[in-house]
Structure 1
Amino acid sequence: MKKIILLLSILCITVVSNAQDIKTICNTINNLNTAILNGSIKRRDAANQFKTLIKQLKKAADKSQSSGWVFPLKGYKSNAIGGTNGNGYSDKGYNFLDGNKHTAHPAHDIFINDHNQDCLDDRTHQPVDVLVVDNGIVIACTNEWDPVSSLRGGKFIWVYHPAQNIFTYYAHNQAIFVKPGDEVKQGQKIAEVGRTGYNAYKKRSPTHLHFSAFRLVDDMPVPYNSYLQLKKAKNI
């Protein structure tokens, strides 16, 4: 009995230690991401730090798998994706290290019914929930944004998915409900759709979620077109 208790104690300590490690790593990634966005760090230094942190996160993360994706907007389907057959996606010239200065659009804009631009669904008169597409860990986010800011993502969230070794990115949120280091489960509400971000805030922009997916190539994020995955995603 004493041996069992000892083993359970060791297991609990290990789990707590891993959770603490993950939070520390993710908070450091979050700070690094902020430095990349505002251009206060050299590209080479940023790349070296990011690669080191991702390797640490891979070792600490739980790689439990789920089947497929959940569509990232509750109550919506893939027909809400802008463009024809997802042709709004364009990753030409994108580099993660460019931060807020990149000019590409490696994403799909998923529009909600919000003609008066009050960030509420016109049918339900409620905010639209942003759902994480798969199990993962929040590595960076911000719940603060000023309308005079030039930050294009506004209130954004980055999630790392260990089982697939990919990232997903959710931008222009009105409010977010997670923080760096949080482990999130597929279909969990992580934010509400909004109009934050330099271009998204303007009247000419319909209310939408900006959604991107990235593979890790040499431990750096490289965007890929996730349109087919979004089309096949389960709707909630």
Structure 2
Amino acid sequence: MKKIILLLSFLCISVISNAQDIKTICNNINNLNTAILNGSIKRQDAAGQFKTLIEQLKKTSYKPSSSGWVFPLKSYKISAIGGTNGNGYSDKGYNFLDGNKHTAHPAHDIFINDRNQDCLDDRTHQPVDVLVVDDGIVIACTNEWDPSSSLRGGKFIWVYHPAQNFFTYYAHNQAIFVKPGDEVKQGQKIAEVGRTGYNAYKKRSPTHLHFSAFHLVNDLPVPYNPYLQLKKAKTI
């Protein structure tokens, strides 16, 4: 009995230690991401630090099985994506290390029914939930944004998905409900759709979620077009 108790105690300590390690790594990634957005770090230094932190995260991350995506907006589907067959996506010239200075649009804008721009669905009169597409770990986010800010993403969330080694990015949120280091499950509510961000806040911009996906190439995020995955995604 004593051996069993000692073993259980060891396992509990290991789980707690691993969770603390993940939180520390993710907080460091979050701080680095802020520096990249602000342009307060040299590109070469940022690249080196990001690669080191991602390698650390890979070693501590649990890798559950994965089978398809959940659509990132509750009660919405592929028809909510702007453009024709997802042609609003354009990653030409994008570089993660450019931070807030990049001019590309490696994303799909997913529009909600919100004619009066109050961030509530016109049919339900409720906020629209942003759902994480697959199991993952929150590596960066901010729940602070001021209309005078030039930050284009507004209140955003980055999630790392260890099972398939990719990232997803959710921007322009009204409110977020996660923090760096949180492990999130597929379909979990992580935010509510909003109008935060330099361009998204303007009256000319319909209310939408800015959604991106990134592969890791040499341990740095490189965007890819996730339209087919979104098309096959399950609506909740």
Report the TM-score when normalising by structure 2: 0.99
Deviates more, 1:120-129 or 1:62-71: 62-71
The residue type paired with residue 63 of structure 1 is K
SS for the counterpart of 2:230 is: helix
Deviates more, 1:1-10 or 1:155-164: 1-10
SS for the counterpart of 1:229 is: helix
What residue in structure 2 maps to residue 227 of structure 1? 227
Residues 119-130 of structure 1 aligned to structure 2 (within 5 Å) = 119-130=119-130
2:187 matches 1:178: no
Which 4+ stretches in 1 moved above 6 angstroms? none
SS for the counterpart of 2:164 is: coil
What residue in structure 1 maps to residue 10 of structure 2? 10
| Distance in 2 separating the partners of 1:40 and 1:120 | 36
What is the deviation of 1:5? 1.1
What is the deviation of 1:66? 2.5
| Distance in 2 separating the partners of 1:5 and 1:160 | 34
| Distance in 1 separating the partners of 2:2 and 2:217 | 47
Residues 100-127 of structure 1 show CA distances to partners (whole Å, capped at 9, x for unaligned) of 0000000000000000000000000000
The residue type paired with residue 5 of structure 2 is I
What is the deviation of 1:228? 0.2
What residue in structure 2 maps to residue 32 of structure 1? 32
| Distance in 2 separating the partners of 1:129 and 1:12 | 33
SS for the counterpart of 2:73 is: coil
SS for the counterpart of 2:206 is: coil
Residues 72-98 of structure 1 show CA distances to partners (whole Å, capped at 9, x for unaligned) of 000101100000000000000000000
2:211 matches 1:211: yes
Structure 2 gap ranges (5+): none
| Distance in 1 separating the partners of 2:59 and 2:66 | 19
What residue in structure 2 maps to residue 151 of structure 1? 151
What residue in structure 2 maps to residue 74 of structure 1? 74
Identity of aligned residues (%): 90
What residue in structure 2 maps to residue 132 of structure 1? 132
What is the deviation of 1:54? 0.1
Report the TM-score when normalising by structure 1: 0.99
| Distance in 2 separating the partners of 1:36 and 1:77 | 33
The residue type paired with residue 173 of structure 1 is N
What residue in structure 1 maps to residue 141 of structure 2? 141
SS for the counterpart of 2:32 is: helix
2:59 matches 1:59: yes
| Distance in 1 separating the partners of 2:104 and 2:119 | 25
What is the deviation of 1:65? 1.6
* Superposition RMSD in Å: 0.4
| Distance in 1 separating the partners of 2:232 and 2:65 | 17
Residues 76-91 of structure 1 aligned to structure 2 (within 5 Å) = 76-91=76-91
Aligned length: 236
